[in-house]
Structure 1
Amino acid sequence: MQYQEFHIGQIFRTKSLQVTSENIKEFASEFDPQYMHLDEKKAGEGRFGGIIASGIQTLAISFKLWVETGSYGEDVIAGTAMNNIRFLKPVYPGDELYTIVEVIDLQEKRNQTGIVTVTLSTYNDKEEKVFVGDLSVLVKNENRIQE
């Protein structure tokens, strides 16, 4: 979708994705090698009672689910900002995540572009919000006269 096709308050819901122990460990071993993501025994003795997904992995999954809706399509140019990132609850192996996306801001720019800002709110299969964050991207705006 191009800039002019988005409107404030617009809501999207993504498909779901199940998080597995294997992909938690694979992600963590490369990007967040801490015991609570890798060591079943030590994590089991800790405050979470087992391994949990890295917050960065939860953010990446949320973003992946949003992008896979195809809403930006080929009209996206680049990400410009991520703000108000909050990891609210741990994500465990077996959790099924989906994201609700709400358009919260639109800023028309020069050169046939605009910035679309959305809030990503990610939930597990128990309907508990596990992540929230704002994402801004630059997209094409064919209605804007080139300056």
Structure 2
Amino acid sequence: MPLTVHGIDEIKAQAGADLGHSSWLEIPQSRVNTFADATDDHQWIHVDVERAKEGPFGGTIAHGYLTLSLLIPMWSELLRVEGVSMAVNYGLNKVRFPSLVRVGSKIRTHGRIASVEDVKNGVEVIVDLTVGIDGSDKPACVAQAVYRFYA
């Protein structure tokens, strides 16, 4: 269950809050292939199952940007904001991919609200997000997302 906040004042009160983890999300080859088609990134380490078995990772791996894009559904499991007129994904301050995601792996994200600052008619929320891989101590992705919520 995501943390639910109502309005700008309740968002402000969450500065520094640990939002916990999303549920696990499996990364099947079909999802990687669909992402490759959507982005025209058909590099063999992602889509050629037979060749990838002989490659440096012993199998196909997810695109880093696929992992990053999956922050959207995982983030929605962490925080729900009601009582605002609009929410905007404002961008990212920093993104790194410390470890690869093997096809068939499960990932989930952990979130923490790093800061909440006033902007005209609303607030800007900086969220530290870490995508973990089931069975691994090293994260797949570390990102600092920027969201704006308007009254």
TM range (shorter): 0.7 to 0.9
Cα distance per residue 1:13-49 (max 9 Å; x no partner) = 2111111111112212222221111111222222111
Paired AA for residue 121 in structure 1: T
Q: Does 1:15 align with 2:20?
A: no
Q: CA deviation at 1:127?
A: 4.0
Q: Please, which of 108, 119, 125 is the counterpart of residue 116 of structure 1? A: 125
Q: CA RMSD in A?
A: 1.8
Q: Give ranges in structure 2 of 5+ residues lacking alignment.
A: none
Is 1:45 the counterpart of 2:54 in the alignment? yes
Query: What's the % identity of the aligned pairs?
Result: 24
**TM-score (norm: length of structure 1):** 0.85
Give yes or no for the alignment of 1:24 onto 2:32: yes
Letter in 2 for 1:9: G
- Equivalent residue, structure 2, for 1:144: none
CA deviation profile, 1:49-95 (whole Å, cap 9, x unmatched): 11000001101112221124452357352111212100111111221
Is 64-73 or 19-28 further displaced after alignment? Answer: 64-73
- Find the counterpart in structure 1 of residue 105 from structure 2: 95
Matched, 1:81 2:63: no
Counterpart CA distance in 2 for 1:63 and 1:135 is 10
- Measured in 2, the distance between the counterparts of 1:26 and 1:79 equals 23
Range with greater deviation from structure 2 (98-107 or 63-72): 63-72
Q: Is the 8 A contact 2:22 2:108 kept in 1?
A: yes
Corresponding residue pairs, total: 140
Shift of 1:98: 0.9
**Cα distance in structure 1, aligned partners of 2:29 and 2:72:** 20
Q: Which runs of 5+ in 1 are unaligned?
A: 142-147
Q: 2:72 aligns with which of 43, 59, 63?
A: 63
TM-score by length of 2: 0.83
Check whether the contact 2:115–2:125 (CA below 8 A) recurs between aligned residues: yes
Q: Distance in 2 between matches of 1:15 and 1:34?
A: 29
